Amino acid sequence: MTEFDGDVVIITGGASGIGRATASLLHSRGARVVIADVNGPAADELAAELGEGALAVQVDVSDSASVQHLITTTVEQLGRLDVLCNNAGFGFRGNVTTIAEADWDRLMSVNVRGVFLCSKYAMPHLAATGTGRIVNTSSYTSLVGIADRAAYVASKGAVTALTRAMALDHVAEGVRVNAVAPGTIDSPYFGTMIAEADNPGELLDELNGRAPMRRMGQPEEIAEAIAWLASSRSTFATGSILTIDGGSSAW
């Protein structure tokens, strides 16, 4: 018997970075995982790599019909839904004067509306188990703010606030809602940014320097925290925002 035996877990953005590490960890601990990602081929590849107990579903979390398809496919094929990890998201540079309106709207539709839609359609199934769990991937920037990331910081502020609101709204149904607030993580998102930078060494120093630990975190270090919040070891936690950031928010 392993920790997540019998549990069905959806991980949005599950094909890369933090989501990929989370899908792999929960699968290794006995969960049946649904790798839900807009990048269908990458989700298929990870599901094939993990083997039995892993299902790939292509989804755009900002699109209602696509999200409803994800939830019905999960319940039809795997019979239940115990955990939803709202992890899909992205960011870009800019302040309110430089960010284009369309870019702001797109980011909000994935990072905030995506959490709303997935939670909305998953909630009845999570409640039906009596012990449903939602784990959102927020960011330490929702707690302290950083420069030149206005849309991203605003979106994660909304995710942190929505985590607390959902925790209160659904506590009576037995659904616990928590979030991780990662610091700067060495995921493919930053890997690409570093590779394409004019001065990769300088950017790497800047990213490592964001934390008192003077390094970026690894996706696996966030997956451990998501796994704890998704497990029955955290039964008194709801509405928690768990910072895992090498000390960035302590500065």
- Token duo for residue 156: 């994660």
Nearer to ligand NAI, 87 or 160 (CB): 87
Distance CA 40, CA 196 (A): 24
Measured from the CB of residue 7, what is the shortest distance to ligand NAI in angstroms? Answer: 21
Structure tokens given for 66: 């696509």
Tokens matching residue 240: 């928690």
List C-alpha distances in Å: 125 to 69, 70, 136, 235.
Answer: 14, 13, 17, 19
Interface ranges with ligand NAI (CB under 6 A): 12-13, 15-19, 37-39, 59-62, 87-91, 110, 137, 139, 182, 184-185, 187-190
Whole-number minimum distance, CB 181 to ligand NAI, in Å?
7
Query: What is the Cα–Cα distance from 12 to 39, expressed in whole angstroms?
Result: 11
Rounded least distance, CB 19 to ligand NAI, Å? 5
DSSP string computed for 178-202: EEEEE-SB--HHHHHHHHHSSSHHH
12 and 19 Cβ atoms separated by less than 8 Å: yes
For ligand NAI, which is the closer residue by CB, 17 or 132? Answer: 17
Cβ proximity to ligand NAI: between 53 and 188 the closer is 188
Q: Which residue is nearest to ligand NAI (CB)?
A: 17
**Cβ proximity to ligand NAI, 5 vs 49, nearer residue:** 49
Q: Which residue blocks in 79-218 are alpha helix, DSSP H? A: 101-111, 113-129, 141-144, 150-170, 188-196, 200-208
Assess whether 121 carries a catalytic annotation. Answer: no
Minimum CB separation of residue 149 from ligand NAI in Å reads 10
| Euclidean distance between the first and the last CA atom of the chain, given in angstroms as a whole number | 42
Mind telling me the catalytic residues? 152
